[in-house]
């Protein structure tokens, strides 16, 4: 498997598998990548998480890398995200990088995000920022 992404496992690496037909509810922490073909509800922590087209993850998730072709719902804190599945309403995704792969349905390509929140990139610093080489004070706090 030469096209396996780092952190998401290969055929010879250890990984945690939630098989199709399995519904896990609770807290799942793993030191190896997690592959979800079934359903997870709850808290998830791992270096990588792959959600197959038959998989679904809902809850509070903190992983290094996320690839999803399935269904996501809840709150996700990740470094790198590749989305090609669906994101449910009221979902929050915080990531340093985001890649969205579009599926062609008919003659048009479309991205639809329901009631969700996306935060991409590093968090803005409240310290002094430079503008044209000059130090600027931070913006005043809104009241």
Residue 54: predicted pLDDT? 95
Please answer whether residues 85 and 102 qualify as being in contact, where contact means their C-beta atoms are separated by less than 8 angstroms.
no
Average pLDDT over residues 106-113: 58
pTM: 0.70
Task: Output the pLDDT for position 37.
Answer: 97
pLDDT at 2: 37
pLDDT surpassing 70 at residue 104: no
Lowest mean pLDDT segment, chosen from 21-25, 31-35, 62-66, 109-113: 109-113
If you average pLDDT over every residue of the chain, what do you get? Answer: 79
**Domain boundaries defined on the chain:** 16-136
- What CA–CA distance (Å, rounded) separates 47 from 33? 6
CB 4 within 8 A of CB 19: no
> Is the predicted pLDDT of residue 143 greater than 70, yes or no?
no
Query: Residues 112-130: pLDDT tens digits?
Result: 566 666 777 776 555 544 4
- Six-digit token pair at 85? 């599945």
């Amino acid at each position: 498997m030469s096209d396996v992404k780092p952190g998401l496992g290969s055929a010879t690496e250890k990984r945690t598998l939630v098989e199709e037909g399995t519904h896990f509810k609770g807290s799942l922490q793993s030191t190896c990548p997690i592959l979800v073909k079934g359903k997870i509800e709850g808290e998830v922590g791992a270096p990588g998480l792959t959600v197959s087209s038959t998989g679904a993850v809902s809850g509070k998730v903190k992983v290094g890398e996320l690839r999803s072709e399935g269904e996501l719902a809840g709150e996700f804190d990740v470094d790198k995200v590749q989305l090609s599945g669906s994101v449910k309403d009221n979902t929050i995704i915080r990531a340093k990088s985001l890649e969205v792969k579009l599926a062609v349905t008919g003659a048009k390509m479309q991205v639809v995000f329901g009631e969700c929140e996306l935060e991409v990139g590093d968090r803005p610093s409240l310290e002094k920022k430079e503008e044209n080489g000059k130090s600027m004070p931070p913006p005043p706090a809104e009241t």
